[in-house]
Amino acid sequence: MIKSKNIMSEKILLDALDRVAKNSLGYTVLYVNISKLKPKNRHPQFVKIIAKLFDSVVGTTKGVMFVLSNGDIAILSKNTPQDIVDEAVKKLRTGLASDPLLVHDSRDFALVYEFPRDFMVFYDKISKMEQEQQFRPEPARPSKRPVQASEVENIIAGLDDIAISEIVKRQSVLRIMPDKSFAVAMQEFFVAVKDLSRYFADNIDLVADRWLFQYMSQVLDKKTLAAFSAAELKTWPKHISLNLNLSSIFSREFVNFAKNNIRPGQKIIVEVQVMDILNNLKLYHEALDILHKGGHSLLIDSLNPSSVGMLNIRHLAPDMIKIFWEPLLEYDTDNAALKETIGLLGAENVILAKCDNGDALKWGLSYGINSFQGPYMDEIEAALIHKSCPDNSRCTVQECLKRRRLLMGQYRDECTSKECLEKILGEN
């Protein structure tokens, strides 16, 4: 029996074909021509989503998925039900309807090879691809390398030389109100890794080693919290969201931040990662208790509908969750686990993030979600702010957006209407 797993390369696929050659009756290969799609539909992240969509075929047939050098997908399995293949392809045809390969229900996109009838045709096809691959120059290796344990202390010491307050950014979560207007539900404050990386050697990847980065991020948390004292914002949102490690909630810097920066009527929403929670459930519940005693909240970040279904939300009892949008979620229209979670937490406590188009909002609204974050929402917010600005002829909407994200610095200072720049939608 073929074990279900994802592997790469034509050579390994040929080895698998050699093993089934003597008794190939009943075996099939579903071949998906990703390489024939338009370039915009061959983006690596989108290919991952397409591959995920075909997981149902892999799981049902106990097959194996091969991602080939040109990006095409081949699923080798036995007795593949045609209806499962048709359903997966149908979803893609709908999602990529603008692609010429799919407009006329073309079989050039997804083709099933049935063995033994089509065995030699398919074997020759992959053999030719493997030979062509041998003569291609190897791609250049990434110039960056993971940070080493021996370098961590020097990097942490280097944080002292960085004006953290100048690279802290903010991003709003917008809520769609009953009258269809937009209001800021909260603003998230964070330090982007790409901004931080500019201060260190170009060949060092700060996040490649997850454990070392978590250690460094604990120090960064404290410096970020301390940096707010230098911020030049005069208008702060009622709800301030911070990305923190669980351990940072117990730090002196967090206590000082809450004491010195949070006024009556304001609250902190701490966003934490699932892995941080699962690594220390006891600490998680202690952190949740401390936040609640201070009148604050905890949000579980970076979820998707699958991970929502895997978590015991009743036991974890977070105040809020944040789900990340991805294009093919639009086909996930009746997710029972997601509906249960939304019903348990309340739709107002579920945020759909990484929204990059109107489809994300439509999907979220269909589940009762009305709070959104991401590039699409940033553009809406900046456009509304820019439109209301008396000096809007001096800059573009994009310039307004970039300045609005900053807490301080020369670029922000170029704005001639700070009161408008700091405006919180939905608040007077």
Strand order in the sheet with 64-67: 6-8, 64-67, 73-78, 27-32, 110-114
218 versus 130: the higher-pLDDT residue is 218
45 versus 415: the higher-pLDDT residue is 415
At residue 7, the pLDDT reads 46
Burial 331-360 (b: 16+ CB within 10 A, else e): eeeebeebeebbeebeeebbbbbbbeeeeb
410 versus 374: the higher-pLDDT residue is 374
Q: Whole-prediction pTM value?
A: 0.69
CB 331 within 8 A of CB 352: no
Task: Give the model confidence (pLDDT) of 245-293 as tens digits.
Answer: 999 999 999 999 999 999 999 999 999 999 889 888 999 999 999 999 9
Q: What pLDDT band is residue 224 in, cutting at 50, 70 and 90?
A: very high
Which tokens is 404 given? Answer: 């609005």
At residue 92, the pLDDT reads 63
As a whole number of angstroms, the distance between CA 99 and CA 25 comes to 35
At residue 203, the pLDDT reads 83
309 versus 1: the higher-pLDDT residue is 309
Q: Are strands 168-176 and 182-191 parallel, antiparallel or unpaired?
A: antiparallel
At residue 309, the pLDDT reads 81
At residue 214, the pLDDT reads 87
Burial class from Cβ neighbours inside 10 Å (0-12, 13-18, 19+) for residue 144 reads middle
At residue 132, the pLDDT reads 78
Res 6 pLDDT > 60: no
Res 183 pLDDT > 90: yes
Comparing 228-242, 304-318, 343-357, which segment has the lowest mean pLDDT? 304-318
Closest by CA position to 370, among listed 355, 348, 353, 354: 348
Q: Are strands 182-191 and 239-243 parallel, antiparallel or unpaired?
A: parallel
Q: What is the DSSP string of 341-356?
A: HHHHH-GGGEEEES--
Question: What's the mean pLDDT in 292-305?
Answer: 95
Residues 6 or more apart whose CB falls under 8 angstroms from that of 309 comprise 335, 337, 338
State which H helix or E strand residue 176 sits in. Answer: strand 168-176
Question: Domain-by-domain residue ranges, the chain?
Answer: 6-134, 145-421
Q: Which amino acid is at 408?
A: M
At residue 219, the pLDDT reads 94
State which H helix or E strand residue 75 sits in. Answer: strand 73-78
Res 2 pLDDT > 80: no
Closest by CA position to 187, among listed 116, 137, 239, 138: 239
At residue 103, the pLDDT reads 58
Res 413 pLDDT > 60: yes
Res 45 pLDDT > 70: no
The CB density around residue 173, as the number of other CB atoms within 10 Å, is 24
Closest by CA position to 230, among listed 406, 355, 377, 68: 406
Comparing 42-56, 113-127, 385-399, which segment has the lowest mean pLDDT? 42-56
CATH number of 6-134: 3.30.70
Comparing 71-75, 217-221, 286-290, which segment has the lowest mean pLDDT? 71-75
Res 199 pLDDT > 50: yes
Comparing 105-109, 406-410, 416-420, which segment has the lowest mean pLDDT? 105-109
Question: What's the mean pLDDT in 205-226?
Answer: 90
Query: Three-state DSSP class for 218?
Result: helix
Q: What is the DSSP string of 16-46?
A: HHHHHGGG-TTEEEEEE-GGGS-GGGG-HHH
As a whole number of angstroms, the distance between CA 388 and CA 237 comes to 19
Question: What's the mean pLDDT in 224-253?
Answer: 94
At residue 48, the pLDDT reads 64
Q: What pLDDT band is residue 70 in, cutting at 50, 70 and 90?
A: confident
Q: What pLDDT band is residue 211 in, cutting at 50, 70 and 90?
A: confident
Task: Give the model confidence (pLDDT) of 130-145 as tens digits.
Answer: 887 766 555 555 578 8
Question: What's the mean pLDDT in 360-383?
Answer: 96
Residues 268, 269, 274, 280: what is their CA dihedral angle, to the nearest 10 degrees?
A: 30
382 versus 60: the higher-pLDDT residue is 382
As a whole number of angstroms, the distance between CA 164 and CA 222 comes to 11
Question: What's the mean pLDDT in 397-425?
Answer: 93
CATH class of 145-421: alpha beta
Q: What pLDDT band is residue 327 in, cutting at 50, 70 and 90?
A: confident
At residue 3, the pLDDT reads 41
At residue 61, the pLDDT reads 67
As a whole number of angstroms, the distance between CA 7 and CA 4 comes to 10
- What average pLDDT does the chain have? 86
Task: Give the model confidence (pLDDT) of 379-392 as tens digits.
Answer: 999 999 999 999 99
Closest by CA position to 334, among listed 367, 376, 301: 367
Which tokens is 122 given? Answer: 């398919």
Highest mean pLDDT among 4-18, 62-76, 78-92, 176-190: 176-190
At residue 278, the pLDDT reads 86
CB 67 within 8 A of CB 113: no
